[in-house]
């Protein structure tokens, strides 16, 4: 096995590291830590777990990804892409939080294996329409899950004593069920909650432009402005006797400490059930982290190590669940924030993790006052940014096959499940790819004369040699000869309906490769031709295809002199047989 050389980028960056670089990394790390705080809380809650689990993920995964990663400026942590998967696992009675931790660790092992076996570049071959389709689908799903908190919808349930109490609306896990549930409970619409959500949304959208020319303030993200002003608005409303807007403290009990490390109980049956989900988490994490790294490369003029990056992502997802965290990957928005604020090395990412740790231990009690409506506004903006509607619009002018893959993946992600969407999307993309390849491979029949102008490279080009003798038919295969077109010979014979020839010449000069189905088809053709008294001659087989045929013992079916280097020799052999 080839020697595997994996080296964290941090080791290269610390050579010649100086105070000036550290100060740039320090400033970038502080700002990215502040940017990551509201996102980590929002992603944690939207995923169906507690706010601090989102922050713990950003701390542990962010530290490990920067420490071991293959990029200079990548920032890791929880992202919106995982919300749909995590929510589905946590709310599945069969799995729950324990199942999520196991699935995340399995995904970590898969990512490490992908990186260790240098399969980082393989991820780049996942078709673009599939990536756009499931990303847009995730965006629509995230938007849907936040509508309950945006509208302030509630429901009546019985408590332990049997008394009916008002609680936040509990919705089904599926897309259609959620909207039906919203429609049924629209009568509980809370105007104050809605106004806080809309106000926070407007602040998030317009505050960056409003403070763009003000030093220091222009470094603070709009999401933080939205949450702070939303919190202030709710505190003012509470002073006026309006307490109908839910806050984080109303729903969760936040612990301002790192949890103890606990290894989840793993059994083989659970691994079998969770493997498809783990595979989806791993693929999604790999795609997003390498996409983020590629975008960062284009901005800073660098080149990341995709295999080392996958190993780092794997280690992070293997370690984070031990502290109760959720899946993590490279985050494009936070990575770009790091670059735009002067981050130069992975040290900035490590500082960002330390900043979040300090916030968790010291300032987390203040998070109790953050309104859920403001967090919903943050996620509405996240879903809009994820939707990639411009990319979707651009793809609509592409070939129909790409558009079909896009919308099938989108539909399955929204209506059914992300795992199914990726699996079906890949199968559909492969099927359409095979169809395209089939269309590029042609098998033509020549029964009278070959045009000398198309025969460059022949040893003799006189008209006599290029004339096909009566009783001989030439089959020209142009393109790869694989299972997709292996039956074209049969179709040609059916369509031609001419007198059966005595000699068939099969020209293979333009066949770059042949697979087992193609070989099997040729073997059947030769055997059937022999039974009918027809001679088969092969012409112009390239060395690669020749080696494949020889390995399959194909030539045992033919006389050695029936294998010709080019067409004029093959035609001469045909005349010899016919005479």
Domain of residue 308 covers 20-116+195-239+252-384
Say yes or no to pLDDT of 3 above 60.
no
Dihedral sign from CA coordinates of 359, 365, 366, 370: positive
Beta strand 472-478 pairing with 503-510: parallel
CB atoms within 10 A of CB 270: 18
Q: Determine if the pTM surpasses 0.85.
A: no
The average pLDDT across 238-267 equals 85
**Cα angle at 54 between 49 and 58, to 5 degrees?**
155
Is residue 533 classed exposed, middle or buried when 0-12, 13-18 and 19+ CB atoms within 10 A define those classes? exposed
Are both 199 and 322 inside the same structural domain? yes
Give me the mean pLDDT over the 512-537 stretch: 85
Residues 451 and 363 in one domain: no
410 located within any domain: no
Asked if 100 and 232 sit in the same domain, the reply is: yes
Q: Quick one: the chain helix, strand, coil %, rounded to 5?
A: 65, 10, 25
Domain-terminating residue out of 340, 355, 384: 384
With respect to residue 434, please indicate whether it lies within any of the assigned structural domains: no
Give the helix/strand (H/E) hosting 523.
helix 516-531
- Section 398-423 average pLDDT: 86
Among 461, 487, 497, 492, smallest CA distance to 474 is for 492
Rg (CA), the chain: 32
Confidence of residue 449 (pLDDT cuts 50, 70, 90): low
The predicted pLDDT at position 429 comes to 80
Give the whole-angstrom CA distance, residue 56 versus residue 234: 27
- Answer yes or no: do 466 and 572 share one domain: yes
* pLDDT confidence of residue 495: 56
* Residues 347 and 465 both lie in one domain: no
Which CATH number covers residue 565? 3.30.750.24
Question: Which of 384, 408, 428 finishes a domain?
Answer: 384
Residue after which a domain boundary falls, among 384, 399, 422: 384
- The Cα–Cα gap between 87 and 85 comes to 6
All residues at 6 or more sequence positions from 196 whose CB lies less than 8 Å from its CB, including other chains: 230, 233, 234, 237, 245, 371, 373, 374
Confidence check: pLDDT of 254 > 90: no
- Structure-token pair, residue 505: 């010449």
Confidence band, pLDDT 50/70/90 cuts, at residue 454:
low
> Structurally, how many domains does the chain consist of?
2
Question: Is 260 a residue whose pLDDT tops 80?
Answer: yes
- Asked, for residue 430, whether it belongs to a domain, the answer is no
Q: Is residue 29 scored above 90 in pLDDT? A: yes
Residue 185: inside a domain, yes or no?
Answer: no
pLDDT in tens, 77-122: 999 889 888 988 998 888 889 999 999 999 999 999 999 998 887 7
Task: Provide the pLDDT for residue 75.
Answer: 95
Q: Are 228 and 337 part of one and the same domain?
A: yes
Condensed to tens digits (0 to 9), the pLDDT of residues 148-168 reads: 999 999 988 877 777 878 888
**Arithmetic mean of pLDDT over the chain:** 86
Rounded to an integer, the average pLDDT of 392-403 is 86
Q: Please write the tens of the pLDDT for every residue from 299-353.
A: 898 999 999 999 999 999 999 999 999 999 999 889 988 998 889 999 999 999 9
Q: Which residues contact 284 (CB under 8 A, 6 or more apart)?
A: 81, 82, 85, 134, 329, 418, 422
Give the closest residue to 473 by CA, choosing from 546, 539, 555, 541: 539
Residue 431: the pLDDT is: 81
Q: What is the mean pLDDT of residues 373-388?
A: 90
Residue count of the chain, please give it. 579
491 vs 228: which has the higher pLDDT: 228
Q: What is the mean pLDDT of residues 24-44?
A: 91
Contact criterion met (CB below 8 Å) for 196 and 373: yes
Whose CA is closest to 346, among 84, 52, 14?
Answer: 14
Q: Which residues are registered as beta bridge partners of 446?
A: 474
Q: What mean pLDDT comes out for the span 246-255?
A: 85
Residue 406 in any domain: the answer is no
**163 assigned to some structural domain:** no
- Quick: pLDDT tens for 416-427: 877 788 788 888
Alpha-carbon distances of 204 from 2, 16, 224, 508, rounded to whole Å: 51, 40, 8, 63
- Same domain (yes/no): 316, 209: yes
Please tell me the least confidently modeled range out of 16-25, 268-277, 284-293, 493-502. 493-502
pLDDT for the residue 462: 47
Please state, in angstroms and rounded to a whole number, the distance separating the CA atoms of residues 77 and 57. 6
pLDDT of residue 492: 61
**pLDDT bucket at 451, cuts 50 / 70 / 90:** low
The answer to whether 328 and 57 are in contact (CB under 8 A) is: yes
Helix (H) or strand (E) holding 307: helix 306-319
How many helices (H) and strands (E) the chain has is answered by 23, 9
Distance, in Å, from the CA atom of 309 to the CA atom of 112, rounded to the nearest integer, reads 9
Residues 6 or more apart whose CB falls under 8 angstroms from that of 467 comprise: 448, 449, 450, 571
Domain-embedded: residue 530: yes
Q: Determine the Cα–Cα distance for residues 328 and 60; give it in Å rounded to an integer.
A: 10
Model confidence pLDDT, tens digit, residues 39-77: 999 999 988 898 999 999 999 999 999 999 999 999 999
The SS3 call for residue 478 is strand
Question: 286, 123 in Cβ contact below 8 A?
Answer: yes
In this structure, are 449 and 362 located in the same domain? no
Same domain, 321 and 201: yes
Residue 25 pLDDT exceeds 90: yes
**How confident is the model at residue 491, as a pLDDT?**
64
- Same structural domain, 457 and 308: no
On whether both 345 and 483 belong to a single domain, the answer is no
The whole-number pLDDT of residue 398 equals 84
State whether 29 and 108 are in the same domain.
yes
Percent of the chain with pLDDT over 90: 36
- How far is residue 510's CA from residue 441's CA, in Å, rounded to a whole number? 10
Q: What is the pLDDT at residue 475? A: 86
User: Has residue 357 been placed in a domain?
Assistant: yes
Outline where 341-388 has alpha helix (H). Answer: 347-362, 372-387
């Amino acid at each position: 096995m080839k020697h595997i050389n994996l080296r964290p980028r941090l080791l290269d960056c610390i050579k010649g590291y100086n105070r000036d670089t550290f100060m740039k990394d320090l400033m970038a790390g502080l700002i990215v830590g502040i940017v990551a705080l509201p996102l980590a809380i929002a992603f944690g809650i939207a995923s169906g777990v507690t706010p601090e689990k989102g922050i713990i993920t950003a701390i542990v995964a962010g530290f490990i990804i920067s420490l071991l990663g293959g990029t200079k400026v990548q920032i890791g942590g929880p992202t919106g892409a995982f919300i749909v998967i995590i929510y589905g696992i946590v709310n599945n009675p069969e799995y729950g939080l324990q199942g999520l931790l196991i699935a995340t660790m399995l995904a970590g092992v898969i990512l490490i294996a992908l990186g260790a076996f240098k399969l980082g570049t393989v991820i780049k071959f996942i078709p673009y329409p599939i990536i756009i389709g499931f990303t847009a689908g995730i965006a629509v799903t995230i938007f849907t899950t936040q509508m309950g908190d945006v509208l302030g919808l509630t429901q009546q349930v019985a408590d332990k004593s049997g008394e009916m109490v008002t609680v936040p609306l509990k919705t089904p896990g599926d897309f259609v069920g959620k909207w039906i549930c919203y429609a049924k409970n629209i009568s509980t619409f809370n105007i104050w909650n809605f106004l806080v959500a809309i106000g926070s949304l407007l602040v998030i959208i317009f505050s960056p432009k409003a403070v763009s020319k003000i030093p220091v303030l222009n470094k603070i993200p709009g999401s933080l402005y939205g949450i702070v002003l939303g919190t202030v608005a709710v505190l003012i409303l509470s002073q006026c006797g309006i307490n109908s807007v839910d806050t984080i403290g109303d729903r969760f009990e936040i612990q301002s400490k790192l949890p103890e490390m606990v290894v989840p109980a793993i059994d083989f049956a659970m691994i079998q059930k969770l493997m498809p989900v783990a595979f989806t988490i791993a693929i999604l994490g790999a795609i997003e982290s390498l996409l983020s790294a590629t975008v960062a490369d284009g901005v800073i003029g660098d080149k990341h190590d995709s295999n080392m990056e996958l190993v780092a992502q794997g280690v992070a997802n293997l370690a984070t669940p031990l502290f109760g965290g959720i899946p993590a990957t490279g985050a494009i928005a936070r990575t770009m924030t790091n670059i735009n604020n002067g981050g130069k090395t992975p040290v900035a990412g490590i500082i960002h993790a330390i900043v979040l740790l300090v916030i968790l231990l010291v300032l987390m009690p203040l998070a109790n006052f953050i309104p859920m409506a403001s967090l919903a506004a943050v996620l509405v903006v996240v879903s809009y940014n994820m939707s990639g509607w411009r990319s979707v619009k651009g793809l609509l002018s592409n070939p129909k096959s790409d558009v079909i893959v896009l919308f099938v993946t989108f539909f399955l992600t929204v209506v059914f499940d992300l795992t199914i969407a990726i699996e079906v999307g890949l199968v559909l993309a492969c099927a359409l790819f095979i169809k395209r390849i089939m269309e590029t491979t042609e098998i033509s029949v020549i029964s009278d004369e070959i045009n000398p102008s198309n025969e460059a490279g022949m040893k003799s080009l006189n008209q006599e040699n290029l004339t096909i003798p009566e009783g001989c038919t030439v089959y020209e295969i142009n393109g790869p000869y694989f299972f997709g077109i292996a039956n074209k010979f049969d179709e040609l014979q059916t369509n031609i309906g001419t007198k059966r020839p005595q000699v068939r010449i099969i020209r293979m000069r333009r066949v770059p490769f042949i697979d087992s189905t193609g070989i099997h088809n040729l073997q059947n053709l030769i055997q059937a031709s022999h039974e009918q008294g027809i001679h088969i001659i092969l012409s112009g087989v390239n060395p690669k295809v020749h080696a494949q045929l020889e390995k399959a013992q194909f030539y045992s079916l033919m006389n050695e002199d029936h294998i010709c280097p080019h067409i004029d020799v093959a035609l001469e052999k045909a005349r010899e047989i016919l005479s």
